[in-house]
A = this chain, B = another copy of it.
């Protein structure tokens, strides 16, 4: 008499429904003023209008002589007009001689136009001799002159609220003289590992224990997703300790991500703790994904708490597919982040019907191109994860992907 395989006590919720429920959370975004030196990749929390004109003065766009344009009218190669040289203005100089009728001022590219002048004759079309300058070609008003506000106008809207600031945007801000910018604060994401057999790296190994892996992988992934990880250490797999940690997260952070330390995924303590900590807006235990079935999620007053399975590969798959989109939405960032790559399956890849499968793959450059080989997921081995570069998605209704099929690989966060 052999017992049937133990049935899970939880009912699984489809991934789509989980993501739909999480998308309903209305987010309370904080803002902060930060230095533009720290603002690369941050999200602008207000429209930015230029406080100044750039340039804020008329500048020469060529080396030459500043003149009143009308004085040059009629100048020809055979019949130059002669100007008295009144002085010189270099770039960065605040002031210089005024131009007067029949006079000119030597000027360097970028230097401010003297009062009275409205154009610059390029040095190529002149000849200077003993404080006299012969001009061989006429110029029109504004010729070789950069007007006030030509690049940026005062009060012009330069950047929109929600812009993810890149290097060029920071250049624009700098051009207007600002040094600080108002951005959305990064969401605070509590990260903790649970499990009685888990100990933190750096502590002495004890019999029966294993070192925590998920804390580093999840905290680093949170950083790459645009969140600010708040690391809380290893928490014993005990209902009261879990409740304490969840309460801490709800009071001090925006999102909490626990991962089960045990190889069996979050144990019985997790759903009990999630139920007892407070009344949840939404509570599930079990998601129709592979790996990641034992994932538990609760939302309390708009704050999500995630309990990921303990296996490093499973935890990272659930993080990328369920947690990361929430962090990015909270941060004000666009949903996608990690790059994708096309590859060819190197072998038939089996999937579990009825569950959304995230299959980590190892990528190899071969003669036929980039080839994706499946990497096993149902194991605590970190090395299997270490040798994979990303994962493919297999929909619940698909039983397997044939060999030599083109697939999209979602790459893990990777340094540049």
Minimum distance in angstroms from A98 CB to a CB of chain B: 14
Give how many A residues have a beta carbon under 8 Å from the other chain's beta carbons: 106
Interface centre among A211, A223, A385 (most CB of B within 10 A): A211
Is there a chain B Cβ closer than 8 Å to A366's Cβ?
no
Q: Which residue of B lies closest to A89 (CB)?
A: B208
B109 near A264 with CB under 8 A, answer yes
- Which residues of chain B are near A166, meaning CB under 8 Å? 412-415
Binds B, one of A9-17, A22-30, A53-61, A292-300: A53-61
Is there a chain B Cβ closer than 8 Å to A82's Cβ?
no
State the main secondary structure of chain A at its contact with B: loop
B94 near A151 with CB under 8 A, answer no
Binds B, one of A65-73, A169-177, A400-408: A169-177
Minimum distance in angstroms from A283 CB to a CB of chain B: 25
Is there a chain B Cβ closer than 8 Å to A91's Cβ?
yes
Binds B, one of A214-222, A247-255, A351-359: A214-222
Interface centre among A164, A216, A262, A385 (most CB of B within 10 A): A216
A124 to B6, CA, bound (A): 7
B94 near A206 with CB under 8 A, answer yes
B412 near A167 with CB under 8 A, answer yes
Binds B, one of A33-41, A272-280, A342-350: A33-41
A208 near B262 with CB under 8 A, answer no
A177 near B201 with CB under 8 A, answer yes
Indicate whether A124 sits within 8 Å of B3 (C-beta atoms), given known contacts A264-B109, A337-B416, A415-B40: yes
Which residues of chain A in 117-165 are interfacial with respect to chain B, using CB atoms and an 8 Å cutoff? Answer: 123-125, 127, 136-137, 146, 150-152, 158, 164-165
Minimum distance in angstroms from A43 CB to a CB of chain B: 9
Is there a chain B Cβ closer than 8 Å to A325's Cβ?
no
Is there a chain B Cβ closer than 8 Å to A31's Cβ?
no
Is there a chain B Cβ closer than 8 Å to A8's Cβ?
no
- Which residues of chain B are near A56, meaning CB under 8 Å? 205, 210
Q: Which residue of B lies closest to A146 (CB)?
A: B380
B216 near A36 with CB under 8 A, answer yes
A93 near B136 with CB under 8 A, answer no
Indicate whether A262 sits within 8 Å of B220 (C-beta atoms), given known contacts A168-B385, A196-B93: no
Is there a chain B Cβ closer than 8 Å to A197's Cβ?
yes
A167 near B220 with CB under 8 A, answer yes
- Chosen A-B contacts, 11 in total, with CB atoms closer than 8 Å, are A1-B77, A5-B124, A91-B208, A91-B261, A95-B208, A110-B263, A111-B208, A151-B382, A166-B415, A167-B216, A168-B386
Further 9 A-B residue pairs, CB within 8 A, beyond A54-B382, A109-B263, A171-B214: A1-B77, A4-B124, A6-B123, A36-B216, A63-B264, A110-B262, A166-B412, A168-B388, A170-B217
4 closest Cβ pairs, A-B complex: A92-B196, A41-B415, A92-B197, A179-B202
